[in-house]
Structure 1
Amino acid sequence: MNWLPYLKLRSSFGYNGNVYNGSAYLVANLSQVSALTNFNYGVITSAPNEELRWEKVKQTNIGLDWKLRKDRLTGTIEVYRKKGTDLIQEISIAPSSGFTTYRGNFAQTESKGLDLRMNSINITGAWGWSTYFIFSYVKEKVLDYTAQRTTLDIASDPAGTLYKGKPIYGLYSYRMARIDPANGDPIGYLGKAESKDYTSIINNTSVDSLIYHGSTRPLIHGSLANTFSYKGFSISANLLYRFKYFYRRQTVDLNYQNLFASNGIHQDINKAWKATGDETTTTVPSLVYLTNNNRSALYRYSQYTVEKADHIRLQDVRISYDFPATILKTAYLKNLGLYFYANNLGVIWKASKVSLDPDQQQSSFLNPKTFSFGIKCNL
């Protein structure tokens, strides 16, 4: 076919093995020095497991490559499936054994995804326009994971956590019903009933009763780059997009004693409930003088501190000019060009209304914008 000169179907299947660099046997740390005897002594740091083996990843890929006439549109699309078995995890064992956990090949995960890459030549001639597009989608699931973690550990993990039957690195929250208009206390749920028994809420809420928001890693991501040219001038811009993921933002501690003992106070202190009626305009409960960490945890790890991380970022812009050959001949140059490049220009759209950068919301310092200018030539 003249309009489709190139079409290729390909497929692959295989296993990969990940080596565990730790030891399968008892490991003693001899670097300790006794304060009583001033002699070195050893500490057993890991439980033995002589059956420990490689992690295995089974992967199947099916891809299709194509090129249209004169390469006006080229691309590739690939679907894949990965299944990880014998994945190493820590599991709890009886403390009477001398250890509380040991490593074994117990976890399993599965990932399915699609990758699409396309390059198009939209306009040719004195004016030029080309586009490069990348799209990736992944769906992940934990098939088996037996580590025992408390509900608070799962809800308070900012990176997301593994939980059987859910995607990898899922984000979970306690259910906070509302703010008490009488005193600004957060009200949660104990079972299906509203409650302010914070100790019972934190300790007795089951994982299945938590709110599952989604993954802390983008399930959809990619980029769109366009290059425009006219004679020797060229300008290109690259947009990165990341969708379908969440993060938990930092907020204020609801205990005054903890606030003033810390090095800094979060700006959410200005949004805290102060009088009846504030509950209609804020989701931040009142601050209290007597320390109640469970009261604070209900709010800090509730759905009100979770934000959608979806965003589009202007990653880089490049402007260049190549001098025409007629000018270069008189200067004994093969080519001469000038360029200006700007990188990490910032977020141009995001789903959340808070001012945080979704990919750097935990960082003390943001990645800086960079600008460069250069000259390239060949004699």
Structure 2
Amino acid sequence: LFGYRLNGSVDAYRKYSTDILTDVALDITSGFEDLLLNAGEMLNTGVELQLNGRILPSNSRKQLGINLGLTFGYNHNKVKKVYFHPHTGSEFRSMELKQGYPLNTVIGVDYAGYVTDDKGITYGTWRDHNGEIHNTPLSSADFKIEDCVYLGTSTPVWTGGIIPEIRYQGFTLSAMMHYYGGHYMNTDPRVWSIAPDKGGTAASELDFWNGVEGAVPNGYLTKYYDSRTMKIASSDYRNYSRADYLKLRSITLSYEFERRLIRRLGISDLSLRFQVDNVATWARNGRSWDPEATRMGGIPVKTPSTYTMSLFLNL
């Protein structure tokens, strides 16, 4: 369009996949309850958009040139068929592929707090879909499929990118920004970490005794906890946050030397380039945690910025 000042493409797709690895229920008389087979089916539908714009065309070294590239993508994923039908909420949560749900589903539990019985044993409790509170383990038959809290998927649904570029007098300044959204991440894995066999204390209780505002005020040694129900707190759906993030992935400044100087040196190309990677990240999770960061002990380790300088020479 507009004399090639704007060009791009739009792609729509519908991909139905079969023979995906999934658990298949077997006759119990075979000696096995289930077996991993190529039997799953999945549907992906979506759209992808790419645009490239020459906002201010530059036909010479002395002219100011401005270009802008945009990308956008949306994907809707749904598991259409599996041959394993769970009977409890625990079985449902453990399934890799859940029929009627997207891949990499995020399933939580409605955690209802701690209770202590007359023997001093502390239990984690959970709330079912009718609002009733239970202190039984999540592996019990009490925890049903309808008691699971579905949040979404941990795989980005929306993707986007912006690549601006400015050229002038041999200098080129460009950047690359990416956006991922529509998915969830676990932002509180550390709070409920415990070591019952070592008699340690849960991190949240330690925070309470140190005066951290909002910490759970139980303060019991974990040897007094019922270990079967302690995983309930870590499964709380409130431990998950929206994982949307916008990242300024790189900024690059380069300089291309003039042809007159290059010819005098007896070479055909000469340019200098300076680049900064992992410049900045905005995250929706409320903790400024980078969803792409490597986790150490459950806590993301901030991805460091890197700086690169290079000289390009072509004889």
- For the criterion TM > 0.5, the same-fold answer is yes
The equivalent position to 2:262 in structure 1, one of 328, 331, 339, is: 328
Equivalent residue, structure 2, for 1:217: 155
2:41 paired with 1:108? yes
Partner of 1:338: 272
Aligned partner of residue 241 in structure 1, secondary structure: strand
Residues in 1 aligned to 2:226 and 2:34: alpha-carbon distance in whole angstroms: 31
- Alpha-carbon spacing, 1:106–1:161, altered in 2? closer, same or farther (3 Å): closer
Displacement of 1:248: 2.0
Show the 5 A alignment for 1:161-240.
Answer: 161-177=96-112, 187-199=125-137, 203-240=141-178
Q: Is the 8 A contact 2:47 2:74 kept in 1?
A: yes
Asked if residue 78 in structure 1 is aligned to residue 11 in structure 2, the reply is yes
Which segment drifts farther, 291-300 or 93-102? 93-102
* Residues 256, 290 of structure 1: 8 Å contact kept: no
**Could you tell me how far apart the structure 2 residues matched to 1:147 and 1:285 are?**
40
Distance in structure 2 (CA, Å) of the matches to 1:343 and 1:319: 12
**Distance change (3 Å), C-alpha of 1:219 and 1:132:** same
Once structures 1 and 2 are overlaid, which stretch shifts more, 328-337 or 303-312?
A: 328-337
Aligned mate of 1:141, from 55, 75, 78:
78
Per the TM alignment, residue 311 of structure 1 is displaced from its structure 2 partner at its CA by: 0.2
Once residues 312 and 194 of structure 2 are traced to their aligned partners in structure 1, the CA distance between those partners, rounded to angstroms, is 60
Report 1:226-305 matches (<5 A).
Answer: 226-249=164-187, 250-253=189-192, 255=194, 257-258=196-197, 268=204, 270-272=206-208, 281-282=214-215, 287=220, 288-305=222-239
Aligned partners of 1:233 and 1:321 also within 8 Å: yes
Structure 1: gaps spanning 5 or more residues: 1-67
Deviations 1:274-299 (A, max 9, x none): 99xx9x93468755432323432221
Secondary structure in 1 matching 2:44:
strand
TM-score, structure 2 length as denominator? Answer: 0.82
CA apart distance, 1:105: 4.5
**Matched residue SS, 1:234:** strand
Residue 315 of structure 1 corresponds to 249
Q: Note the 1:9-158 alignment, pairs <5 A.
A: 68-125=1-58, 126-148=63-85, 151-152=89-90, 154-155=92-93
Paired letter, 1:115: E
Cα drift, residue 229 of structure 1: 1.5
Equivalent residue letter for 1:312: L
Shift of 1:358: 1.2
Aligned mates of 1:255, 1:335 — CA distance in 2: 61
Q: Following TM superposition, by how much is the alpha carbon of 1:175 offset from its aligned partner in structure 2, in angstroms?
A: 1.0
- Which is worse superposed, 117-126 or 185-194? 185-194
Structure 1 residues 147 and 76: alpha-carbon distance in aligned structure 2, compared to 1, 3 A threshold: same
Higher RCO (CA 8 Å, separation ≥ 6 residues): 2
Contact 1:202 1:294 in 2 (8 A): no
Residue in 2 that maps onto 1:31: none
Deviations 1:43-82 (A, max 9, x none): xxxxxxxxxxxxxxxxxxxxxxxxx133211100011101
Bigger Cα displacement from structure 2, 305-314 vs 334-343: 334-343
Whether contact under 8 Å (1:335, 1:377) holds in the other structure is yes
**Which residue type is aligned with residue 248 of structure 2?**
L
Alpha carbons of structure 1 residues 210 and 290: separation in structure 2 relative to 1, 3 Å: same
Q: Please state whether the residue corresponding to 2:72 is helix, strand or coil.
A: strand
Whether 1:377 aligns to 2:313 is yes
Say whether the 8 Å CA contact 1:188–1:201 is kept in structure 2: no
Percent of residue pairs identical:
19
Segment drifting more, 329-338 vs 285-294: 285-294
TM-score, with structure 1 as normaliser: 0.69
The alpha carbon displacement at 1:351 in A equals: 0.6
Q: How many residues are treated as equivalent by the alignment?
A: 302
Change (3 A) 1:342 1:95: same
Which segments of 5 or more consecutive residues in structure 2 lack a partner in the other structure?
A: none
d(CA) in 2 for partners of 1:323 and 1:285?
68
